[in-house]
Structure 1
């Protein structure tokens, strides 16, 4: 049996069939057992769920033929499937606080959140035109309301509806040459209803990447992987 933590990339599993035989009596009247491999079959496993199935497997060993019934499948939890398929979580208007020139400004977008990334489109044309930027969220840690913190700790005034997306310090290290302080991205939903949906969706995204970060980080290269541009971080 395999679980998601056992497989972090497509792999090949080898099924071998052994038969135990007994050789003539040894000194003392005891028999010695010996295992003989009758054959083997290889199965390629992809990272996608496979329904349980029954297969008849035939092995040829010398002049003898052996058949066994092999039951196999691949289980993935709904959460694992969400992260692997980069499932769509939410889409709506979203305003993002961004550096630009000498004065930071709020920029309005049509945002589309998937399990591992946030894609920002022109707010008028939405997805009918190419995305303006795709922000990877594999280092997203948590979501919180800056307005609920002490005033002295607020980096950006986002009002009561604003949200802060906290990213791991690893992202901060890569952007250390920029004036990144808290390593947060600040966003502003249109209203309370939109804010509730965005907060829940961002929190769900953070929980997914946190749960499976260990598996995905095995192939993560800080030098070559796509990171969030520093102009979106504070």
Structure 2
């Protein structure tokens, strides 16, 4: 079943609002994009991946497994593609969304130091050290415990929205 949202790409997050009320109410979901890899037309996929036909306007957003909270990652099926599917109103809007998302991905790639020509664009890439950032000011043990709990509660992509 498809849910209809009003989406806003705002900085390093993708906000999903109730379609009827748009930005007049708080977002229903805030998708952090720090584990986002790329946006693409899923109908142009090669290989033996599971295909989901969402039509000519469809866009797939590819994330790493780190986009899913650690608790959910432990019990989620291994064949999860870590993708979120969008269906914009028009083909022109779809291409514009794809372009904007890929621009955001290119910025994160640069920060991560990823080579965009490498094969790191898979959901199975478990290089969590690469795309995890932390700041350790003085190395206090109490601070370390607090930072770990903050990391465990870090924003993630709701499993409801990931295929």
**TM-score, with length taken from structure 1:** 0.50
Normalized per residue, the structure richer in strand is: 1
**Aligned 8 A contact 1:115 1:208 in 2:** no
The residue aligned with 1:127 is: 23
The ranges of structure 1 where at least 4 consecutive aligned residues each deviate by more than 6 angstroms after the TM superposition are none
SS of structure 2 residue aligned to 1:226: coil
Per-residue CA deviations over 1:44-83 (Å, capped at 9, x if unaligned) read xxxxxxxxxxxxxxxxxxxxxxxxxxxxxxxxxxxxxxxx
- Determine whether 1:191 maps to 2:90: yes
- Determine whether 1:230 maps to 2:159: yes
Q: Which has the higher contact order (CA 8 A, sep 6+)?
A: 2
The residue aligned with 2:126 is: none
**Aligned 8 A contact 1:116 1:209 in 2:** no
- Determine whether 1:217 maps to 2:132: yes
2:76 to 173, 178, 194: 178
**TM-score, with length taken from structure 2:** 0.69
**Aligned 8 A contact 1:164 1:185 in 2:** yes
- Determine whether 1:205 maps to 2:104: yes
SS of structure 1 residue aligned to 2:26: coil
SS of structure 2 residue aligned to 1:118: strand
Per-residue CA deviations over 1:126-170 (Å, capped at 9, x if unaligned) read 111111111111100111111012485234221122111111133
Normalized per residue, the structure richer in helix is: 2
Decide which structure has the larger Cα Rg and report it.
Answer: 1
Would the alpha carbon gap of residues 155 and 132 (structure 1) be closer, same or farther in structure 2, given more than 3 Å must change? same
**Aligned 8 A contact 2:40 2:60 in 1:** yes
2-structure distance, mates of 1:153, 1:218 = 31
Q: Which runs of 5+ in 1 are unaligned?
A: 1-104
**Aligned CA-pair RMSD:** 2.5
Q: Which runs of 5+ in 2 are unaligned?
A: 114-129, 136-147
